[in-house]
Amino acid sequence: MITAWDWGNYFGDQSQRVCISSFQRPNPKSVRMEAKACGHYVNSIMATNEAKQRGFDEALMLDMNGFVAEGPGANFFFEKEGVLYTPPLGNILPGITRQTVLEICREMDLPVEEKFFRPEELFEADSAFFCGTAAEVIGIDSVEGQVFSKPWKHSMGAVVQEAYKCIVLDKSYSYVIV
C-alpha cells in the first residue's frame, strides 16, 4: 500500500544552526548505504539529540575517515567561490532529493563537485544547505556557531531551493485515477 498526505517542510522555513556530531555515519562495510532501513536512523536520532542538547538545531555527521558525510536524514552541500560541493557516493545515502538537486544544477549550469572534505573546510565556505525528502532544500545558517559569509537569499542554495519548489509544486502532471 502506498499513501500520501500533506506534510510541510520538516525543518520549516528557518535556516539551521548545525554542529559537528560525535556520532558518525555508519561504515559502509557494516551496512548497505543505499538502504533506507529503520536501523540506520538510530545514530541519526542520537546525533540530532546531541545537537539539541548542545543548543543547535541539527547535526552534521562525519564518515569513519573524518570527512563530512551528511545530516541525520539529509544530504549536505556547501558553496565556495561559485561552486557547490557535496560528498561523493559510497559513505552517504544516495538520496533521491540529492539526485534531484544535482539534476537542477546541471540544467541551470551551476557547477557541482563531488569530493571528500573535512569539517574545517566549512569554516571558509560561503553558504551551505541540507536536502532530503522531509527536509526538501533548507539553508544552513552556521556550523559550530560560525555564520556563513553569504546571506542565504543570495546563495546558490537559495536558487536551487526555489527551482526545487517549482518542480515539486508543479501540478500540471497531476491526475486522479478512478
pLDDT of residue 148: 96
- State how far the Cα of 13 lies from the Cα of 74, in Å rounded to an integer: 15
Task: Give the residue carrying C-alpha cell 497531476.
Answer: 174
How far is residue 130's CA from residue 24's CA, in Å, rounded to a whole number? Answer: 17
Per-residue pLDDT, averaged over 153-162, amounts to 95
Nearest to 17 by CA among 52, 44, 49: 52
With a cut of 70, say whether residue 32 has pLDDT above it. no
- Tally of CB atoms within 10 A around 110: 19
Q: Which residues pair with 91 in a beta bridge?
A: none
Q: Indicate the pTM of the whole model.
A: 0.88
Q: What percent of the chain has pLDDT over 90?
A: 69
Choice among 29, 36, 153, 171 that is catalytic = 36
Q: CA-CA distance, 15 to 57, in Å (whole number)?
A: 9
36 given a catalytic annotation: yes
Write out the DSSP string of 32-55: -TT---GGGHHHHHHHHHHHHHTT
Please state which of the ranges 71-75, 86-90, 139-143, 170-174 shows the lowest mean pLDDT.
170-174
Q: The domain 16-168: what is its CATH number?
A: 3.20.10.10
Q: What residues does each domain of the chain span?
A: 16-168
Q: Residues 124-146: what's their mean pLDDT?
A: 95
Contacts of 157 (CB under 8 A, 6+ apart): 77, 79, 84, 127, 128, 129, 137, 139
Would you place residue 26 in the very low, low, confident or very high pLDDT band (cuts 50, 70, 90)?
confident
